[in-house]
Homo-oligomer: A and B are copies of this chain.
Amino acid sequence: MCAGSIMSSLCVLPPECLLQPFTVPQRLMLGPGPSNVPARITAAGAQPILGHLHAETIEIMNQIKSGIQYAFQTQNRVTLAVSGPGHAAMECAIFNSLEHGESVLIAINGIWGERAAEIAERIGTDSALDKYRPVVFFLTHGESSTGVVHPIDGIGDLCHKYNCLFLVDSVAALGGTPICMDEQGIDIMYTGSQKVLNAPPGTAPISFSERACQKIFNRRTKPISYFLDMNLLANYWGCDDKPVRAYHHTGPVTSFYGLRESLAILAETGLENSWKRHKEVAEYFHKGLGEMGLKLFVQDKKARLPTVTTIVAPPGYDWREITGYIMKTYNMEISGGLGPSAGMVLRVGLMGCNSSKANVDKVLEALADALKHCHKSRV
């Protein structure tokens, strides 16, 4: 028995592939995320590990909370980062705010609404608005699959009139286009670390209004997930009034370092400057695309998401050949569609440090070159 005797031979030998050196190419990441990580954030993540409950870690977590409050424009006490990608934050929002049998209304304006509906169905909620008064209304702020930024003003008030919580997914938009959680009456909002914030994927900022807290901390039943239970997470992040933070899970400490630094860069830049830059760079990009004869997927200028641009897939071309050519020739990622936009669009992300006119020039050049060299059928 191999476990019984230390000197016995093993059943599975060390894999050859792991005995080779590890290398990763440098690449310009202009897809819908992850976006490039600046050296300053990488360096923060490479700092020595600390314990997940050491005093310095708690201080870093407190700084992250402040940074998220700034990025979200909220005073919410219950503000923290989930120890997982944006999907974990989406589940955290839905698992905590809804109980079995409750109704949810989900605006399906792209793949993220579809996913939220799928998650809500798994816990046995009902989404028929005409029959039930919904407890939560879910809206995607920046739909990275279609390139649409959804207007937020007024929806919070409408939700509250009907005693409904307003839940916003701002993964692809936060930091790149205006949103103010408190002023706009948003009750739950989350984002990811790997878009405008330019940190590696693996942490997801989330915040809950007092109205949301009333609901999530007064449930009849426990949320289905222990890992994402806000009763436990709020204590772990020091968002409650308890003097001691109990061990809940081992937070991804070095990922927190990177997230802290990404929020610091946003604080130094200033949200308004970040919004302004993304808007200007996106407009410069859209103008350049027009001059090349490429059409934007979103007609209405005001509805265009400044972080992720969807371009109508050029007629006569295979979009896969275009993205493949650009990856191979320029070591640059741009992406095809996703979900409802699959096959219909090219997607280009210009987020955080990647939102610059220099990058626009690079991607326009790459696109022009691809259209020249890729196969075009007569259409």
Interface residues of A (CB under 8 A from B): 1-4, 6-8, 10-15, 17-19, 22-27, 29, 31, 33-37, 42-52, 54, 56, 60, 62-63, 66-67, 69-70, 73-75, 83-88, 90-91, 115, 118-119, 122-123, 152-153, 178-180, 182-184, 192, 194, 200-202, 222-227, 247-255, 257, 260-261, 263-264, 267-268, 270-272, 275-276, 279, 333, 338
Are B270 and A14 closer than 8 Å at their CB atoms?
A: yes
Q: A260 to chain B: which residues have CB within 8 Å? A: 18, 22
Are B18 and A263 closer than 8 Å at their CB atoms?
A: yes
Given A3-B180, A31-B51, A279-B6: A13 touches B70 (CB 8 Å cut-off): yes
10 closest cross-chain pairs (CB), A and B: A202-B252, A15-B66, A14-B267, A3-B178, A24-B47, A87-B249, A18-B264, A200-B254, A2-B180, A18-B267
Instruction: State the copy count for this chain.
Output: 2
Given A34-B49, A45-B254, A333-B51: A12 touches B83 (CB 8 Å cut-off): no
Could you name 28 residue pairs across A and B whose Cβ atoms are closer than 8 Å? Answer: A2-B180, A3-B178, A3-B184, A7-B272, A8-B272, A11-B73, A12-B70, A12-B73, A14-B268, A15-B67, A15-B267, A18-B67, A23-B47, A25-B56, A27-B54, A33-B250, A54-B333, A83-B84, A85-B227, A85-B251, A118-B226, A122-B224, A200-B253, A200-B255, A201-B251, A201-B252, A252-B252, A255-B255
